[in-house]
Structures are given as C-alpha cells and as structure tokens.
Amino acid sequence: MLVDSHCHLDFPDFAEDLDEIVARARRAGVGRMVTICTYLSRFDQVRAVAERYDDVMCSLGVHPHNAGEELAETTVERLVELSAHPKVVGLGESGLDYYYDKSPRADQQECFRRHVRAAARTGLPLIVHTRDADADTMRIVREEAPGGGVKGLLHCFSSGRALAEEALAYGFHISLSGIVTFKKSEDLRAIVADVPLDRILVETDAPYLAPMPHRGKRNEPAYVVNTARVVAEVKGVEPEELARRSTENFFRLFDRAASAARDVAA
C-alpha cells in the first residue's frame, strides 16, 4: 500500500470526477489520501471530502499565500477547536513562501507561529510549506517549540541540503512530490539519497506537479506510484520496500490516521 500524504481533492480541478479520481487511486494501490486545507474559511469543504470517503483524511490550516486575509480568524484556539474532528490528522499546510510573497512576510510568520503552537498543544503533526525561506522556517519552529517539541514534515521538499539536515535533526520527516522525478532534479535526488529511509513520505500535491511521465497533466493521487518508484531507485530499494517503509512512516507520524485505521479494521 502507498499513501498520498498531500493532495487537494477539494479543488475545482476534481469537482466533476472526484469519485473516479479516488477509485483510480485505490486501483493503483493507494490506500490512504490526505486532502490538505489551505484556507481556514474553506475547512468545511475539505472536511466534507474526507467524510465522503473512508480512505481519505484531511488537514486543517492556512497556506502562507492566504495568511494575510485569514490571519485574524486563525487563532491557536480556533485551530485547536477545529482539529478535534476525527478526520483531521495534521495541521497545515502552513509555513513561509518568500518566492511569491502573496501575503506580507510578517503575516506569514505570525500565522505559521500559531500553527506551530497549535501543533504543540494538540500533538498533531505540522505540515510545512517552505519556499525561498530556508533560514526562517526552522528558526520559527525552534523558537515556538524548542527541543523537538512538535512533530511534522517538510511537504513537497525541493529546498537545499542545509534545510533538510536541520529539519531531520529536529525530528521532522521529508515528503517528496513529483519534483523528484523531473530530469533537472539531480540536486534534489542527491539530497534524497542521504535522507534516512525511516523519514521519507511521498505525495502528489495534486492537482499540481504531476510526476514523469505525466508531467504537464493534471496530477492525481494514483500518480504517487510514479514518484515512489523514483524514490525507491534513488534509495536503492525495491518499490515494494519503499511503499512499505513510507506507509509505516506515514502512520507513525500521522498517528490519528493509524488509530482510525485500527478502528476500521476492528
């Protein structure tokens, strides 16, 4: 079984054929999907998708692009309150994006800090978006939750080696998207080669970043198989081993999802 640890099934891209999208993922061997919240104000739609399918979980959070418009409503108390829903398995995606700067950096940082505090209070993993903000990302995590005080991952990792090493040293996981399959991603694959196998997750970030050989098309959870195959090659293991290990990593990190799986099995 594989897990797509990060996709956006509530996006309009999937509105017309969501049932078939989920069915294709299941046929491809994807046993769990996490649909990710990017606006607190749209959490109801995200949660509704997760409630519609037994094998879909969700997160709760505000993307850094949306921090400026949602900061006032994104309190730690609100995040803690809404995250009590059993389908919510993580907080985010939150973080810093200095590449597009769609929200003021001060708002991004404050919104991110609130997510870190909420993660510390709830014990849920933090799903971190970071782009061109390597120096500030882990600094803020350490300031708000020193000494490995929260668990989490760097989603869709494509940053430099220094950030990967800093995040791993803190205790975070690294989640890999279709970017790792791109021809020009040699530097990223070199970093992945050194990431411990017990810290790797895979994702699609669908509908974005479709892996080879689907690049340029709408991405979907079934394509996580292609990403996992390349990661297995980089790590020098069989695809079945990578699937097993990354799935174990997912359930260890997202332990509420593991509890839900045990409840279904019982």
Read off the pLDDT of residues 32-49 as tens digits, 9 standing for 90 and up: 999 999 999 999 999 999
**Containing domain of residue 187, as a range?**
2-265
pLDDT of residue 259: 74
Domain of 77, CATH number, reads: 3.20.20.140
Query: 207 and 218 in contact (C-beta within 8 Å)?
Result: yes
Neighbours of 109 (CB within 10 A): 20
- Burial class of residue 2 (count of CB atoms within 10 Å of its CB; 0-12, 13-18, 19+): buried
Closest to 66 measured CA to CA, from 35, 33, 100: 100
Mean model confidence pLDDT for the chain: 97
Tally of domains in the chain: 1
Q: Is residue 89 predicted with pLDDT exceeding 70? A: yes
pTM here is 0.96
Averaged pLDDT for residues 4-19? 98
Closest CA to 166 of 186, 187, 193, 195: 195
pLDDT band of residue 262 (cuts 50, 70, 90) is low
Tokens representing 61 are 């959070």
Confidence band for 266, pLDDT divided at 50, 70 and 90: very low
d(CA 136, CA 75): 21
- DSSP E strands, the chain: 2-7, 30-35, 56-60, 88-97, 126-131, 152-154, 173-176, 200-202
- Residue 258 banded pLDDT, cuts 50, 70, 90: confident
